[in-house]
Amino acid sequence: MYIYGRTGYGGFGSVAAVRTRRRDDSVRQDALDILGAQMAIKILHKRHYREDEPENEHDIKPHQDWKNVERQNLASLPFHPFISGLLDAFSDTRNLYLLTELAPCGTLSSLFSP
């Protein structure tokens, strides 16, 4: 997978357009394994989540639940043509990543802008 364009950014991170880069054509598990399939990846910086960590140990569990709300909501939605579905979620030491369907026409907000 490689990034070929940036589609947006916000207070917690950015969104980029990505394409798949399959190496072994003999193994085909999913339609997203097709060479050149396009998706969006939301990159959320963990430091923003860590800055908001509660100091009181009784507040930690609700705070952790709050941080997972977007991922859980996207994962629980059934297919809908107007909602970019969650395909995968993963992390590394610096970032959280949400891999979603790509909406190549931009944002809903941009469609209403004059």
Residue identified by tokens 């364009």 is 5
Strands across the sheet containing 2-9: 2-9, 13-19, 38-45, 95-101, 86-91
Total domains in the fold of the chain? 1
- Reported as a pLDDT band with limits 50, 70 and 90, residue 89 is confident
Cα of first residue to Cα of last residue in the chain, in angstroms, is 35
pTM of the entire structure? 0.68
Distance, in Å, from the CA atom of 79 to the CA atom of 18, rounded to the nearest integer, reads: 21
Reference 42, options 70, 16, 69, 71; nearest CA is: 16
Say if 114 falls within a structural domain.
no
Q: Supply the CATH number for residue 75's domain.
A: 3.30.200.20
CB 69 within 8 A of CB 89: no
Domain of residue 61 covers 2-107
The SS3 of residue 29 is coil
Distance, in Å, from the CA atom of 8 to the CA atom of 43, rounded to the nearest integer, reads: 10
Token duo for residue 70? 């977007």
Query: What are 3-44's pLDDT values in tens digits?
Result: 898 888 877 789 999 998 866 555 656 656 677 888 999 998
More confident site: 63 or 98: 98
Say if 112 falls within a structural domain.
no
